[in-house]
């Protein structure tokens, strides 16, 4: 399990990668978070960019952040202008490069288990949601993950804690993964504020209590990624991390 930026860069340089985005995940994304007109997405821990590019294909304008320069270089080479590729640690860096007007969907695929302060990170990210927006967490299930890789997965208690405090949630288990959609109130129960919050990661607040639609079977160009200083090690895991 990687815990430093150098380790992530080395892992990507040595060929370690995410598990590929499955058709089941694509169908769930289409069902739960279809892109609204002018929709904007934030992919946290984007790795080599497959999910970010898929969100772009759904019609979102995408900001994709990761801590690994090597991952972002490959994402840029593969998918070009599908997203703004940002070298950023969501728990340590200045969030200024992110859009102040918020996002319609924020995705964390193979990221949540790696967060050092999960509640703070999720509360901060939730404040960047636009009205009707959703946080989507995709994570391996502990019950279907080898013991030696338990650190990249969540057990049932952790999944219940993740869903607690939201106005509306949905969960689907697919191919050893939990696909969790979170909407509405913040996990910490605080009231969103329209003015600039003290927490620099907390963007414009806009909670929604809208329920998710039932699942069904199944871009705008960005700008080159800006550079930021590096913070503590919390980036998205690869399938082999």
Question: Residue 131 half-sphere exposure, CB side, CA atoms within 13 Å?
Answer: 2
Q: Note the pLDDT of residue 116.
A: 86
Nearest-angstrom CA–CA distance, 199 and 117 = 14
Q: Note the pLDDT of residue 141.
A: 95
pLDDT per position in the chain (241 positions), as tens? 455 554 544 555 555 656 789 999 999 999 999 999 999 999 999 999 999 999 999 999 999 999 888 889 999 999 999 999 999 888 877 787 898 899 999 999 999 998 988 988 998 899 899 999 999 999 999 998 888 888 889 999 999 999 998 999 999 999 999 999 999 866 565 333 233 333 333 444 333 333 444 333 333 333 334 433 333 333 333 443 4
The secondary element (H helix, E strand) that includes residue 155 is: none
Nearest-angstrom CA–CA distance, 136 and 229 = 26
Residues forming a β-bridge with 182: 135, 169
Question: What CATH number belongs to 5-15+22-183?
Answer: 3.40.50.150
Q: What six digits make up the tokens of 142?
A: 């502990």
Q: Domain ranges in the chain?
A: 5-15+22-183
**Cα separation values, 139 from 30, 134, 153, 175, Å:** 18, 16, 6, 11
Q: Note the pLDDT of residue 108.
A: 98
């Amino acid at each position: 399990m990687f815990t430093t930026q150098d380790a992530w860069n080395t892992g990507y340089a040595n060929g370690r990668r995410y598990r590929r985005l499955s058709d089941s995940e694509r169908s769930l994304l289409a069902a739960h978070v279809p892109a609204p007109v002018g929709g904007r997405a934030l992919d946290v821990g984007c790795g080599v960019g497959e999910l970010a590019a898929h969100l772009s294909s759904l019609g979102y304008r995408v900001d994709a952040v990761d801590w690994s320069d090597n991952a972002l270089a490959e994402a840029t080479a593969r998918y070009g202008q599908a997203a703004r590729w940002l070298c950023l640690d969501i728990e340590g860096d200045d969030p200024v490069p992110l859009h102040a007007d918020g996002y319609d969907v924020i995705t964390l695929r193979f990221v949540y288990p790696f967060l050092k302060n999960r509640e703070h990170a999720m509360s901060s990210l939730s404040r960047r949601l636009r009205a009707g927006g959703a946080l989507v967490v995709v994570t391996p299930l502990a019950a279907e993950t080898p013991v030696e890789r338990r650190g990249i997965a969540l057990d049932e208690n952790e999944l219940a804690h993740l869903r607690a405090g939201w106005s509306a949630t949905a969960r689907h288990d697919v191919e050893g993964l939990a696909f969790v959609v979170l909407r509405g109130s913040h996990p910490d129960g605080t009231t969103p504020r329209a003015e600039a919050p003290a927490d620099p990661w907390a963007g414009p607040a806009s909670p929604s209590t809208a329920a998710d639609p039932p699942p069904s079977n199944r871009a705008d160009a960005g700008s080159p990624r800006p550079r930021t200083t590096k913070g503590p090690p919390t980036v998205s895991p690869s399938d082999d991390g």
